[in-house]
Every structure is written in C-alpha cells, then in structure tokens.
Amino acid sequence: MAAEIALHPNDDRGRGILDELEKQTEIKQEILDDGSHRYYLNATDAGVDAFDLMLDKIDSDWRDHVTNMAGERGD
C-alpha cells in the first residue's frame, strides 16, 4: 500500500531539514495551509515512517524540529 506522509516544520531548522530531504529524494511535495509538507509515496511497502532513516542522516535531532503528522489527519 502506498503512503501519504505529512511532515510539519516546527521552526527554521525544520524547514531546512525538509528542504534537504526534498533535494536528496527529488520527491515533489504539496504545501498545506498549515505549512506542512505532504508527500505521496507509491512504494508498496512505504509507511508513515518511510523518511525516518533519511531524516536521521540529515539531522539526528530532526524530531525536535519536524513533526510527523501521522494520525493527525486520520492517516
């Protein structure tokens, strides 16, 4: 099953982390009204934590700057 992932930058560092994620993955995002970035992954084994390893490599403290909105919108 494909995944829909929404990540919300909590601060300037969070925006930088998401910019770097998008640069590295070349995945296009949709910016939501609240500033969250929504991604659609077509991989059949993708889950809401699909980006966690990449985010860990970008900044091991990414969770202090970015919120995974899984479950916030009925994900």
Is 36 among the domain residues?
yes
pTM over cut 0.75:
yes
By CB atoms closer than 10 A (0-12, 13-18, 19+), residue 30 is exposed
The domain in which residue 21 lies consists of 3-68
60-70, pLDDT tens digit by residue?
999 999 999 87
Is 74 among the domain residues?
no
- Integer Cα distance of 34 and 3 in angstroms: 20
Across the beta sheet with 30-31, the strand order is: 30-31, 37-41, 3-9, 66-68
Number of structural domains (the chain) is 1
The amino acid at residue 75 is: D
27-69, pLDDT tens digit by residue?
888 999 999 999 887 765 566 677 899 999 999 999 999 999 8
- The band of 73, judged by pLDDT with boundaries at 50, 70 and 90, is very low
Phi and psi torsions of 52, nearest 5°: -55, -45
